[in-house]
Amino acid sequence: MAQFVATIRVRPKAEVRDPQGESVAGALRALGFEVADVRTGKEIVVRFSASDEGAARDAARTMGDQLLANPVIEDYEVSLGGPAGTPAR
């Protein structure tokens, strides 16, 4: 088994209101920045073992589908690095 690192980035879907992003945009404007829009999200980094890159990618997608993202209101993307030490793709 090889070690992999998956980075899962979760963001609200484009059609879903993002109150945190709106708050950040307002604060940035108050600081004098001319921002058009801000969308917030979260980044989850998971180190785990898998038999190969395909199995690791499948596992990371399953993590996103079943736990890390709410498919009703959020989209997610997976970047996979591994075996340990090689850059994310």
Domain-located, residue 75: yes
Residue 83 pLDDT: 60
- Say if CB 8 and CB 81 are below 8 A apart: no
Check: pTM over 0.85? Answer yes or no: no
Amino acid letter, 58: D
Residue positions counted in the chain? 89
Amino acid letter, 72: V
> How far, in Å, CA of 61 to CA of 79, rounded?
10
Q: What is the pLDDT of residues 23-53, one digit of tens each?
A: 999 999 999 999 999 999 999 999 999 999 9
For the chain, the domain total comes to 1
Instruction: Considering only residues 49 and 83, tell me which one the structure prediction assigns the higher pLDDT.
Output: 49
Domain-located, residue 61: yes
Domain range for 75: 2-81
Q: What is the CATH number of the domain that holds 16?
A: 3.30.1280.10
Domain-located, residue 41: yes
Domain-located, residue 88: no
